[in-house]
Amino acid sequence: MTDDSGVAAWAALLRTHAAVVPLLERELEQRQNMPLGWYDVLLELNAAPDRRLRMQELGERAVLSRTRVSRIVDELARAGLAAREQDSHDKRGSWAVITSEGRARLRAAAPGYLDGIARHFADHLTAAERAAITAGLTRVLDAAARSRDAPSAPSRS
């Protein structure tokens, strides 16, 4: 059972996300002509080994639904910022790959994105608060990954 402080922390997390993400989206779109979803996908691809991820992996890493990730990769491909490549070993799978133009656009957008994170989020917290949030949310993410990867319990019928 979650106590009141657990519910309050959860509510604060959701409200903060709902308040800050639209600010970041609007600024990135206005200043860099780049939707936040594009930035997120390009960031994940750029950080990946060989700057490429299987579509399934990208869907797990990006903070978007898998359907939305697929749509964004298609948009990025039309804009020349990413490409889809067929998996030579698994014809059912494909890779998303960031292009050199995608890397350049990501680098150009990064300062504005990082500035927005600072102004709308990090600057309002002390170093100790940022460290506590990072540590706590990392534990939650790790637990969620373990739950996702654990075999399902048999249903009781």
pLDDT (tens digit per residue) in 120-150? 999 999 999 999 999 999 999 999 888 988 8
Q: What is the pTM of this model?
A: 0.84
Mean pLDDT within 110-123: 97
Q: Which pLDDT value is given to residue 87?
A: 76
pLDDT (tens digit per residue) in 7-59? 999 999 999 999 999 999 999 999 999 999 999 999 999 999 999 999 889 98
Complete domains list, the chain, with CATH: 4-143 (1.10.10.10)
Contacts of 80 (CB under 8 A, 6+ apart): 99, 101, 102
Could you tell me whether strands 52-54 and 82-86 are parallel, antiparallel, or unpaired per DSSP bridges? unpaired
pLDDT (tens digit per residue) in 80-99? 999 999 877 776 778 999 99
Catalogue the E-assigned strands of the chain. 52-54, 82-86, 94-98
